[in-house]
Chain A
């Protein structure tokens, strides 16, 4: 993993590739790599869909090795949704394969003059870029089937659906899982629209003939990985809870805690929670012969994912994540798992972010476009997004756009990006993260739900403002570092509680790169990443006034606890003072 592949889509005479060494980007991976390249090379005031923006795709520092959990892929650019820097990250196979092919990053630059659509094949013998207009407006599942026909069974794909081609703000980039299904998405921030603007429909990767990446010190590495896996297996969340129930185990607890945004953030618990909970979902999956314990990429030992079969026992979609079950479920007053699974499938196929899409439908329901609880109307709306009807294009623009068009006051976004499945009034730590993350409202950027609700890594009362700034700061720093390793963020449950598991991760990083990496080094990396991102945003015109939640969170009380978001503005401004 010692080279960068640059593809200039705007070169006269057709797309042109160059391969270079890492230069100043040596030592970076994942989010550190994408954010460094974007911060350094993209003019902050450029139009996100213009030729000056760059789409950077990077495996993590440990991707491609035998390290468990190391298959997360980072995709970065200037976001069409937020107007700021973006790193969106997904599982699936591509990170491992890209790393084994030797690339620390692919940078897609420029913009083709015509409207040809391209596919890019990367394998051990090089790169082939071909115009293929037969792929236009193809859905993700059909596209992957076609790529397999053309390039064989061993490939994996990074692709966009029609939403990306239409350059919608909610457009995602799909990554195929172990079974080559386009189910894992770099969802947030409209990265799919940037890929669409570059005229790239699919990147097909094939690592046939390439070895597993060898660490500098293979023996130490193997030993550290063994201790790391043992630690993950030992912790009750990563060893038991996540494999058995998946992320959707959170539905019940968030609703019990009064922090489950319901009916577009009107109340904090949902009467239908039990019907769509992780417990119910796992049981239904088993009954229908699906698999509730499945890894999204080779080497995942936590396996929080699963598969979902329809009433007839046929595969419909992956096990919908908690965020999706919330956004399309409780947030829209829908308590029907089959409808939610259908929406998950449609989102993946069209190529849109499930969080943004569900939040947008919630806003549309508030505006009276459909009634809360009307699952059929929600499905029809997502289909319109895929068809690109006028309504579909508005909805595909995301919650902030839809809120403006439909005249809605209660629009749950920060920096233009929709909030995920935790109400910031009743989970104040996550509210601090939503407000201040350079990514816009993003739960993964500093997942304070751990200490606020789950009592992992300590306890900070979710209903009080005390301690939330420090909690969010520490988690944002740690997350920026973990996102750079290629590790799935769910390892955090174990490394926050078990110092020896954190140490095994440090040992693995050290053995991989032949340098000594300490806890302080990891903290410095996290701070460095956040500083680069915030600096980009400042140059793009963001001020402290953008690090705020929408006003209604301070003025409208949330039932059942009757709380508002009352963390002070001057405290929010302290998050990045370190």
Chain B
């Protein structure tokens, strides 16, 4: 299946901004994060299709996964 992955802020360093990655069906958010070698405490905010997801969320073909480090503002 194809997953659009978007990375933000410091997570882009040495990685990418946006890419379409191939994964086996049933791949979880955790497995994608491991694949991207993102340390667990840096994947602080995770969206799948614009909704908060957690590490166990299973991805489906065509999903957009967005990962943010801890950020804030206002």
Contact = CB atoms under 8 A, between A and B. Distances in A.
B44 A249 contact: no
A238 B71 CA distance: 8
A256 B74 contact: no
A309 interface: no
Contact of B73 (A235, A248, A455, A459): A248
Contacts of B52: 455, 459, 461-462
A269 B69 contact: no
A269 B50 contact: yes
Contacts of A269: 50
A142 to B, nearest CB: 31
Interface stretch (A183-191, A359-367, A442-450): A442-450
Nearest to A274: B17
Q: Which of B9, B45, B73, B74 counts the most chain A CB atoms within 10 A?
A: B73
A455 B71 contact: no
Interface in B40-68: 41, 44-45, 47, 50-52, 66, 68
A459 B52 CA distance: 10
Contact of B9 (A279, A304, A323, A449): A279
A236 interface: yes
A245 B72 contact: no
B71 A249 contact: yes
Contact of B70 (A237, A258, A461, A561): A237
A250 B50 contact: no
A542 interface: no
B9 A258 contact: no
B53 to A, nearest CB: 12
Interface residues of A, number: 44
A322 B10 contact: no
Contact of A253 (B8, B10, B41, B51): B8
A455 B68 CA distance: 11
B69 A279 contact: no
Contacts of A247: 73-74
Interface in B1-38: 6, 8-10, 12, 17
Given A454-B45, A455-B45, A463-B51, A256 B6 contact: yes
A560 interface: yes
A241 B66 contact: no
A493 interface: yes
Contacts of B12: 279
A240 interface: yes
Nearest to B46: A455
A47 B47 CA distance: 48
Contact of B10 (A237, A240, A304): A240
Contacts of A252: 8, 68
B47 A241 contact: no
Contacts of A447: 74
Interface string A249-266: 110110011100000000
Contact of A246 (B8, B66, B68, B73): B73
A33 B56 CA distance: 49
A456 B73 CA distance: 11
A68 to B, nearest CB: 17
A453 B44 CA distance: 11
Contacts of B9: 241, 244-245, 249, 278-279
Contacts of B50: 256-258, 269, 560-561
B51 A322 contact: no
A241 B70 CA distance: 7
A11 to B, nearest CB: 41
A279 B69 CA distance: 13
A384 to B, nearest CB: 30
B47 A237 contact: no
B38 to A, nearest CB: 14
Given A236-B44, A244-B9, A244-B10, A443 B69 contact: no
Nearest to B17: A274
A272 B17 CA distance: 15
A256 B44 contact: no
Contacts of A490: 72, 74
Contact of B47 (A235, A236, A245, A256): A256
A304 B47 CA distance: 25
B74 A322 contact: yes
Given A244-B10, A245-B9, A256-B66, A454 B71 contact: yes
A242 interface: yes
A236 B74 contact: no
B71 A241 contact: yes
A489 interface: yes
Interface string A296-328: 000000001000000000000000001100000
B73 A250 contact: yes
Given A256-B50, A454-B45, 12 more contacts: A238-B72, A241-B69, A241-B73, A242-B72, A249-B9, A249-B73, A253-B8, A253-B45, A256-B47, A456-B72, A463-B51, A490-B74
27 contacts: A235-B70, A241-B9, A241-B70, A241-B71, A241-B72, A245-B9, A245-B73, A247-B74, A248-B73, A249-B9, A249-B71, A249-B73, A252-B8, A252-B68, A256-B50, A258-B50, A279-B12, A444-B74, A454-B70, A455-B44, A455-B45, A455-B52, A456-B70, A461-B52, A490-B74, A493-B72, A561-B51
4 residue pairs, one from A and one from B, having the closest CB atoms: A247-B73, A236-B70, A237-B72, A241-B71
